[in-house]
Structure 1
Amino acid sequence: MSMNTGTPGGTTALVSEPLPNIPWEEKPAGFRGLVWRHSTNPIVDINPFPKARGVYNSCVVPWKDGYIGIFRADWHCMTPYLHLGTSPDGIDWSFDEEPISFISPDPALDEVNFAYDPRICKIDDKYYVTWCYNFNGPTIGVAWTKDFKSFHQLENPFLPYNRNGVLIPRMIGDRYVMLSRPMGLGMAVDYGDILCSESKDLTYWGKHRIVFTRGPKKWERVKIGPGPTPIETTEGWLLFYHGVADTCSGFIYSIGAALLDLDDPSKVIYRCRFPIMTPEASYETTGSVDNVVFPTSVLTDGATGRLAIYYGASDTFTALAYASTDEILDYVRSNHT
């Protein structure tokens, strides 16, 4: 795709198809930040359907005349499952009561019964779903679908322990590329960096390279991890990621931004020294896990450069925020490490 014409007299560096019905609210008057929250957040509140206490850290894509998504739903027993959701506008959601069932190529992969933090990435005519699940420890699962009715599981790309598997949304040369965050044992492990890996067939992965490590600033010095599917721009892949700080009262999860090379996403062009969003609203600072904003999905409008960012709030709610591609790029360029 080529650079698209944006607002009258202007252009956007975003490389994306137009999305005229993208969820959107204008930036509030006098607001000085880069990312502004949807006015009626959270868009998915607590107890959204009978089995689920919290729905969060989920992903959304355009589908037919509306939107479809795969959502992490923590049941009241505290086990997470993946559920399908649909919406006419990307804001008001309805959920399937039963979890997604995956068609597995091998019984040895085990049943997907502890699944969380999904991402969706469209490559050609398939939608690839990545998520974390328990396979003798946390690891990344991968499946594809064309209709959001049948989900065909592939081999796990990596050994445990790994999370936050995020595919680049097109092949680079003859290879698929995935970002991930290898980690140690435990839910709240206090380290983790972002790596890049390649595959010709989505089965065998190699050429593992470090993209960047946690730190150097305090807001991301504990661990980091890739967020939504990277966004193609004329300047590089725009990556939103989470960074974690340690404080006397616990961890704080914020959202950071970096720009990666289009031809080699293991190479960093710019990495912003400041977070672009931190927990501030009550639904972000208070919940099952306090002080968390965790980005997992972005809708893009190539005609305007608009971004609609879906994120998990306090491991309890699904929330929505808005940003401009070009404002984010300008900020990252001006404040890179």
Structure 2
Amino acid sequence: MSKLSALGGEAAGAAVESRPFPWQDRPAGCDEVVWRHSENPIIPRSPFPGVQGIYNSAVVPFGEGYIGVFRTEKRTRFPLLHVGRSPNGLEWEIDPEPIEFANFESAPNHYAYDPRVVEIEGTYYISWCGGHNGPTISMASTQDFQTFERLENAFLPFNRNGVLFPRKINGKYFLLSRPSDNGHTPFGDIYVSQSPDMTHWGVHRWVMGRGGDEVGQWWQRTKIGAGPIPIETPDGWLMIYHGVIDTCNGFVYSMGAALLDLDEPWRVLHRTDQHLLTPEAEYEVSGHVPNVVFPCAALVDEPTGRLAIYYGAADTCSCVCYAKLDELIEFTKNHSAVF
């Protein structure tokens, strides 16, 4: 089995063997490279009283199970982050109170949504879209998911989809993002930035752009954004991302994948020329925001090459789908259009 850098590490000190991996085999008769969990959504829209949406959230291995940072919305529809815990990655208990940051005074305009989580050298870093004079990439760190230290925002407004790489590259931290605007951005490409200290970010490089008529890629013609933490493979960094098309009935969010160079992650080696998963199930096409498949986290079982991808559905509930890592890499290489 190839060397992998999956999400999360062993900072909690538990043996990997004691942690069950969330998984269902490919259904009989299915020839898709990615398939849905049969009991989706794994977290319904109201996991505890007063909540009407929980979606676009992050999951990592922790201890003998899994821990997550979840986007929730109560009846104010104001997004906040909550910690969740699971023994198997499928059954979740969500903390009813949102995360509080020990060194940060909250304010009414400090919203938080669409988090990602990664372990780097024993510390867990959380990135999300935070509201500080407009949306940008906010960050925090934790060792135990009980106390959280706010870090400086990575960028000026406006920016979204901040996704850290799971290790330093040539001694630097790397962060994917999508510069945007203050609204529901009708445009957007993926960029990568680097930092020596997780505070000062620069060397901003374009990674890849949206599709369109000239490349025949309508499913991602409006905007794209990085999803889960990139997965390190011998073929490059596997970056699962979302692509958006603007239709006469609104935006449609689908899932794609790309392979980035291991040492120069702004170089795209391969990129799927078709979506891997698009809104088709009832819980994806119907909800607060219809027609959304929004991947935010991925887990890899290294011995078996199994891949579990967590995604938000219709901006309402939390779901999971599956793939075999080697199959997904081969599909990406064999069905590729780099532009």
With normalisation by structure 2, the TM-score equals 0.92
1:185 partnered with 2:163? no
Specify whether residues 87 and 239 from structure 1 end up closer, same or farther in structure 2 by C-alpha distance, changes over 3 A only.
same
User: What is the DSSP-based 3-state SS (H/G/I as helix, E as strand, rest coil) of the residue aligned with 1:241?
Assistant: strand
What are the within-5 Å matches in structure 2 for residues 62-73 of structure 1?
Answer: 62-73=61-72
Q: Partner letter of residue 185 of structure 1?
A: N
Look up the SS of the partner of 1:160 in the other structure. coil
C-alpha distance in 1, partners of 2:108/2:21?
Answer: 35
Letter in 2 for 1:210: W
Q: Structure 2: how far apart are the matches of 1:162 and 1:39?
A: 34
- 1:311 aligns to 2:308 (yes or no): no
Cα contact 1:13–1:325 (8 A) shared by 2: no
User: Which residue is 1:82 aligned to?
Assistant: 81
Amino acid at match of 2:132: F
Corresponding residue SS for 2:333: helix
- 2:199 corresponds in structure 1 to 203
Distance 1:23 1:222 in 2: 33
CA contact (8 A) 2:288 2:316 kept: yes
Q: Is the 8 A contact 2:59 2:117 kept in 1?
A: yes
CA distance in 1, matches of 2:261, 2:115: 24
Q: Is the 8 A contact 2:57 2:296 kept in 1?
A: yes
Question: Equivalent residue for 2:263?
Answer: 263
Other-structure match for 1:132: 129
Q: Which residue of 2 aligns with 1:7?
A: none
Runs of 4+ in 1 over 3 A off after TM superposition: 12-20, 109-113
Corresponding residue for residue 9 of structure 1: none
- 1:39 matched to 2:35? The reply is no
1:103 alignment partner, SS class: coil
Please give the per-residue CA displacement for 1:174-207, whole angstroms capped at 9, x wherever unaligned: 1000000000121x22001100000001111000
Give 1:110 deviation, angstroms.
Answer: 5.6
Partner of 2:117: 120
Q: Are 2:138 and 1:141 aligned?
A: yes
Amino acid in structure 2 at the alignment position of 1:84: V
The one-letter amino acid paired with 2:53 is G
Q: Distance in 1 between matches of 2:268 and 2:117?
A: 23
**Alignment check: 8 A CA contact 1:13 1:305 kept:** no
Determine helix, strand or coil for the equivalent of 2:185: coil
- Equivalent-residue separation in structure 1 for 2:65 and 2:290 (angstroms): 32
1:167 to 164, 186, 196: 164
Matching residue of 2:25: 26
Deviations 1:45-100 (A, max 9, x none): 12111131110000111111111100000111100110010111111111111100
Q: Residue 5 of structure 2 contacts residue 166 of structure 2 at CA under 8 Å; is this kept in 1?
A: no
Q: What's the secondary structure of 1:102's corresponding residue?
A: coil
TM-score by length of 1: 0.93
Counterpart CA distance in 2 for 1:114 and 1:157 is: 16
* Cα pair distance change 1:75/1:113, threshold 3 Å: farther
* Amino acid of the structure 1 residue aligned with 2:146: K
Query: Which residue pairs with 2:284 in the alignment?
Result: 284
Instruction: State the Cα deviation string for residues 149-183 of structure 1 (Å, max 9, x = none).
Output: 11111110100000110000000111000000000
| Residue 326 of structure 2: aligned partner | 326
Letter in 1 for 2:284: E
After superposition, the Cα gap between the structure-2 partners of 1:103 and 1:211, relative to the gap in structure 1 and judged at 3 Å, is same
**C-alpha RMSD over aligned residues:** 1.5
The residue aligned with 1:194 is 190
Aligned pair 1:153/2:144, yes or no? no
Identity in percent? 51
Are the equivalent residues in 2 in contact too, given 1:137–1:161 (CA < 8 A)?
yes
Shift of 1:14: 4.1
2:211 to 186, 194, 215: 215
CA displacement at 1:113 relative to structure 2:
3.6
Q: Deviations over 1:192-240 (max 9, x none)?
A: 1100000001111000000001114110010110000001111100000
Q: Hey, what's the Cα distance between the residues in 2 that align with 1:175 and 1:112?
A: 32
Preserved contact between residue 136 and residue 160 of structure 1 (Cα < 8 Å): yes
d(CA) in 2 for partners of 1:315 and 1:334?
32
Local SS of the residue matching 1:331: helix
Partner Cα separation in structure 2 for residue 84 and residue 112 of structure 1: 21
Instruction: Give ranges in structure 2 of 5+ residues lacking alignment.
Output: 10-15
Which is worse superposed, 45-54 or 197-206? 45-54
Alpha-carbon deviation of 1:111? Answer: 6.9
Q: Which residue of 1 aligns with 2:247?
A: 247
Contact 1:14 1:305 in 2 (8 A): no
CA distance in 2, matches of 1:258, 1:329: 9
